[in-house]
Chains A and B, each alone.
Chain A
Amino acid sequence: MKQIALYGKGGIGKSTTSANLSAALGESGRSVLQVGCDPKHDSTRMLMHGEPLPTVLELVRERGATGVALEDVVRTGYAGVRCVEAGGPEPGIGCAGRGIIATFQLLEERGALEADVIVYDVLGDVVCGGFAMPMREGYAEEVYLVTSGELMSLYAANNIAKAIARLAERPRCRCRLAGVILNAKGIEREEELVTAFATAIGSRLVAAIPRDRVVQLAELHRQTVIEYAPDSTQAGVYRQLADDLLRTTDRAIPVPLTQDALESLAFAHAPL
């Protein structure tokens, strides 16, 4: 079983990438579970054709943890991908990070954390320890950083690299960095920059996903690109990523950059 987590700055394309990845894996016959770890609970929307999932925390709040059955929270979407949304507390109150870990424990107790591949879609620009829990508690074994060439996005990715590096010092922590995924914004020299970033932190670029209108079109049809435009180049890119991800054995302890080094790197690869 592979447990992978996509971490990255808000809005960078984690959910789009996760869902297409899961869809590609599902199509290839793998059993897949996608867990959305974001209070926004929109990670699996495209896989579920827009059908909103009740979140685990919503039901736990209503019924208490013992009152929640697996079939209430795990639904099967496109290509047989099983979908779960952790959800979160009301904005401005409670601890979402703690909620995520409670969700994981509940799924684990009910024996739901079983699949060929589990894909966790986790917010990465939240600074609190709660969002590092999936890594710390050994759920997210292979972390992929999703980033564009924008400084703020690299900054968030670098912070997550810091968290991985720190957690990796613990004897029993299996969490490692498996690679960097470029979800392009279409900036000049973007791939060059993100490749340099990946190398600099001791990892590699595993995919360069172009920015493509087909993503929005698919979204309007409440589908993943894999389903909506199976023959598109974009779908090919996601399938390629799925393939790479299944085969890869790369697991590195990253060496995060200092703020200065990160900025110099961005400067050196700035658009001409």
Chain B
Amino acid sequence: MPSSPSLLPTPRSEGCTLAGALSVAAAVSDGLTVVHGPAGCAHHHVSLLLTTLLDQPGARMPTLLSDDLCEQEVIFGGEGTLARALDDAVSRSPGSIAVLSTCVAEAIGDDCEAVVTRVPDSLPVVVIPVGGFLGGGFLEGERTALQAYGRLASRLPVSERSDEPVIALVGEKNLEFEADTHADELGRLLGLLDLEVGLRFIREAPTSELGLLPGADLLVLREPALGPVADRLPVRPGTPLIDGFPVGLSATIEFLRAVGAAMNLDADSACEIEIAHQETVLARFAGLAGSRVRLPAGAGWLAELADALDLVPAPDGVPLPVPEPAPVGTAGISRLLSRWRRAL
């Protein structure tokens, strides 16, 4: 297990729609996921999920059931098999159940929505239709799942909430190695405004907590591409939204200002504190000044960072690694710079 977070690219968004949906459903901490399809579909993605989770210290292993569709069900339909798997799932008393379909289930025309009506009303169920062959890939599956959980959230009893405003992180990439690091950084930044993350939609959230979504005061999307998902989440009209985690020095400050504006708070002193913090971080890397470097074109935040450090962009400079996904907040910049120092 790596002892420090890797800044190498960690492409964790490959696989079919089922993989994407599973990455969301498996993150409901008291949830149980039923994969309605051949055992192979579940096996393949469970392996992916588990290897990823093994990288994350203290990770919880999700509860997954496959209803193991075989020849007989392909021919006659698999609704009976799903019904039996659901009864099994109910007997395990999870906080909620997610039913994920697969190519085979979609091709033979099983009606999952009809089958889940057998689950007692008191137990929340969500059906996520994700036949991989119907198009899309991992990201499509992730979005479909978020949307399905959005619909579920609107049906959940309104969660008891403190007087604190609810700030919801939407669409964290659960298979990203740095997912928690990113969320911690957002928590630190919100802390400068005396705020905190109220809901992670969805990462290690128990089902009951998902009921906080409709009353959320601010949505912070993991990335702008989640815009269409956010548009359909069951939040109050006019709920403010920030469409991505901040990447870069000035973007981090702008993030604080945006949160302040959304929450009707004065962000000036928070911004001053953070700017000072950024200066301290940059000062630790002052020794890099004057280095000739080569950076990928097009990313404004990289140019800004190079400028702040007095790096000299040059075609023959040392190529610097830039992780994908890009580092979040000032903490992300700090980790990136440690890596640059090793490279230079």
Min CB distance, B209 to chain A, in Å? 37
B160 within 8 A of A: no
Q: Which of B6-14, B72-80, B148-156, B189-197 contacts A (4 or more CB under 8 A)?
A: B72-80
B313 to chain A, nearest CB (A): 56
Q: Given that A94-B108, A94-B109 are contacting pairs, would A60 and B72 also be in contact in the complex, using a CB cutoff of 8 Å?
A: yes
Interface residue? A251 (CB, 8 A): no
A130 to B74, CA, bound (A): 12
Q: How far is the CA of A98 from the CA of B75 in the complex (A)?
A: 6
Q: Is the CB of B77 within 8 A of A94?
A: yes
What separation, in Å, do the CA atoms of A64 and B109 have in the docked complex?
22
A68 within 8 A of B: no
**A95 at the binding interface (Cβ < 8 Å):** yes
Q: Is A93 an interface residue (CB 8 A)?
A: yes
User: Are A98 and B72 in contact (CB-based, < 8 A)?
Assistant: no
Most buried by A among B77, B110, B111: B77
Instruction: State whether the Cβ of B107 lies closer than 8 Å to any Cβ in chain A.
Output: yes
Instruction: Indicate whether A61 reaches chain B with its CB closer than 8 angstroms.
Output: yes
1/0 per residue, CB under 8 A from B, across A76-102: the answer is 000000000000011011111011001
Within 8 Å of chain B (Cβ to Cβ): is A57?
A: yes
Q: Mark B77-108, 1 if CB is under 8 A from A, else 0.
A: 10100000000000000000000000000011
Residue of chain B at shortest CB distance from A100: B75
Measured in the bound complex, the distance between the Cα atoms of B61 and A57 in whole Å is: 40
Say yes or no: is B71 at the interface (Cβ < 8 Å to chain A).
Answer: yes
Could you tell me if B109 and A93 are in contact, using CB atoms closer than 8 angstroms? yes
Give the docked Cα–Cα distance between A98 and B78 (Å): 14
Contacts of B108 in A (CB 8 A): 93-95
Given A94-B109, A95-B108, check contact A89 B71 (CB 8 Å): no
Number of interface residues of A (CB under 8 A): 15
CA distance A109 to B110 in the complex (A): 30
Query: What residues of chain A lie closer than 8 Å to B72, measured between beta carbons?
Result: 60-61, 64-65
Distance in angstroms from A98 CB to nearest chain B CB is: 5
A64 CA to B70 CA, complexed, in Å:
12
Q: How far is the CA of A95 from the CA of B75 in the complex (A)?
A: 5
Contacts of B75 in A (CB 8 A): 57, 60, 89, 94-96, 98-99, 102
**Nearest chain A residue, comparing its CB with the CB of B78:** A94
Cβ-defined partner of A98 (8 Å) among B74, B109, B110: B74
User: Is B71 in contact with A90, judged by CB distance below 8 angstroms?
Assistant: no
Q: What residue in chain A is nearest B75 (Cβ atoms)?
A: A99
Interface pair B76/A61, CB less than 8 Å apart: yes
Contacts of B77 in A (CB 8 A): 89-90, 93-94
> Judging by beta carbons under 8 Å apart, are A98 and B79 in contact?
no
B110 (CB) vs chain A CBs: closest residue: A93
Bound-state CA distance A99–B72 (Å) is 9
Lowest 6 A-B CB distances belong to which pairs? A93-B77, A94-B77, A99-B75, A94-B76, A89-B76, A98-B75
Between-chain CB contacts (< 8 Å), 13 pairs: A60-B72, A60-B75, A61-B72, A90-B77, A92-B109, A93-B76, A93-B77, A93-B108, A93-B111, A94-B75, A95-B107, A95-B108, A99-B76
**What residues make up the interface of B, taking CB atoms closer than 8 Å to A?**
71-77, 79, 107-111
- New contact pairs (5) apart from A61-B72, A98-B71, A102-B71, CB-CB < 8 Å: A92-B109, A93-B79, A93-B111, A94-B73, A94-B108
